[in-house]
Structure 1
Amino acid sequence: MVGERIKELRKKKGYSISELAKYAGVSKSYLSYIERNVQKNPSLQFLSKLAKTLGTTIEYLLGQDSEELDEEWIDLIKKAIDNGVDKAEFQKYLEFVKFKKWEEKQRNPLE
């Protein structure tokens, strides 16, 4: 699905695979693998570069409805990606936030 959306947008923009890879600063061969569904799990950094170049969002490329996220959340996610935060690091952060909320609830059970 991701590859199909990328290919569709690339063709609408009139880009060849080589051109899109060059403009986005990604590997031409890896982009080709994604489009042909040989590789099906691109990184957020890769998707971010393509989304920016194609004038779309990561959510669209992933086939998700971006209406659930407002622009502020989308900007925060993009900033995290731009700063090199990967999925595993983001998951660790979420677990930390859950722990801190739980810890606060233990200290103040009446709130």
Structure 2
Amino acid sequence: MKFGTRIKDLRTRRGLTLDQLAQETNSSKSYIWELENKNPPRPSAEKLAAIAAALGVTVDYLIGTDEQTLEKAEDKAFFREYSSLPEETRRQLREMAKILGTKKGK
């Protein structure tokens, strides 16, 4: 899958408009449109990171440099976010995960 196609696919899956993704990444609507539709796109590393964060995936997944699945990319992005949270928040999330894991088994 091409870079632009991945952005558009992820954006639409998350229910974001071009305007919304542009706003979340401090970009213009036309810039996001160009990334989705022009070949080859040439985004800066800063913009790539912002777009990946807004879409909840890794930069590697977005540009297709590895063979990870969307689910694994989302997990990696979540873990990076989780790692930057305060310790108390991480503790609470671990407790919630235990509770949810217990309910799933029933």
Q: TM-score, normalised by structure 2?
A: 0.58
Partner amino acid for 1:22?
Q
Counterpart for residue 54 of structure 2: 53
CA apart distance, 1:49: 0.4
Partner Cα separation in structure 2 for residue 14 and residue 5 of structure 1: 14
Query: Once the two structures are superposed, what CA deviation does each residue of 1:78-98 show, in whole Å capped at 9, x if it has no partner?
Result: xxxxxxxxxxxxxxxxxxxxx
CA displacement, residues 8-66 of structure 1 (integer Å, 9 cap, x when unaligned)? 00000000100111112112111111101255121111110000010001101111117
Where structure 1 has 5 or more consecutive residues not aligned to the other structure, the ranges are 76-111
**CA distance, structure 2, for counterparts of residue 14 and residue 34 of structure 1:** 18
Contact 1:33 1:39 in 2 (8 A): no
Instruction: Read off the aligned partner of 1:20 and give its amino acid letter.
Output: L
Give % identity.
36
> 3-state DSSP class of the match of 1:42?
coil
SS at match of 2:43: coil
Counterparts of 1:1-111 in structure 2, within 5 Å, are: 1-38=2-39, 40-65=41-66
After superposing on structure 2, the runs of 4+ consecutive aligned residues of structure 1 that deviate more than 3 Å are: none
TM-score for the superposition, normalised by structure 1: 0.56
Report the RMSD for the aligned CA atoms in angstroms.
Answer: 1.9
Work out the CA distance in 1 between the residues paired with 2:9 and 2:15: 10
| Counterpart Cα distance in 1 of 2:26 and 2:40 | 18
For structure 2, list consecutive stretches of 5 or more residues without a partner in the other structure. 69-75, 81-106
